[in-house]
Amino acid sequence: MGLVPNSTTDLTCVRCGVEGEHDLVVVGRLLHSTRCHACGHVVRHEQRDLMSAYLRDLEHRLVTKPQRMARRAVHEPVSFLLGLPGAVLRQPAKLVDEIRTVLRGR
């Protein structure tokens, strides 16, 4: 099984602190690792860490950039789905409905 990045997303790097693009290596529905574009730091993710990192990331987007989040659901469905814990679904119903509609359409 190779480690070729098959998606990218914006995360905050734990090493250099830059919020920017990270390569994602996704195996099945699990995120194997991320790699910071800025400094090249690679992090292998436990599923628990993944959920917590994505939850923070998505909550931030729900507050600040709902359109961007909806767009991401379309263009990066794998990483989006990986990061869709129940807490997000308790966010404002209008946005959640939009997201569900987008996901159903796939």
Residues that bind Zn ion (CB under 5 A): 13, 15-16, 36, 38-39, 41
Residues 17 and 39 sit within 8 Å (Cβ to Cβ): no
Nearer to Zn ion, 13 or 84 (CB): 13
Closest approach of Zn ion to the CB of residue 36, in Å: 3
Nearer to Zn ion, 3 or 39 (CB): 39
Closest approach of Zn ion to the CB of residue 24, in Å: 14
Residues 22 and 7 sit within 8 Å (Cβ to Cβ): no
Cβ of 75: how many Cβ atoms within 10 Å?
10
In what helix (H) or strand (E) does residue 98 lie, and over which residues does it extend?
Answer: helix 93-104
Closest approach of Zn ion to the CB of residue 85, in Å: 25
Nearer to Zn ion, 38 or 96 (CB): 38
Nearer to Zn ion, 36 or 69 (CB): 36
User: Taking the CA of residue 7 as centre, how many other CA atoms within 13 Å lie in the half-sphere pointing to its CB?
Assistant: 25
Map residue 10 onto helix, strand or coil: strand
Closest approach of Zn ion to the CB of residue 11, in Å: 9
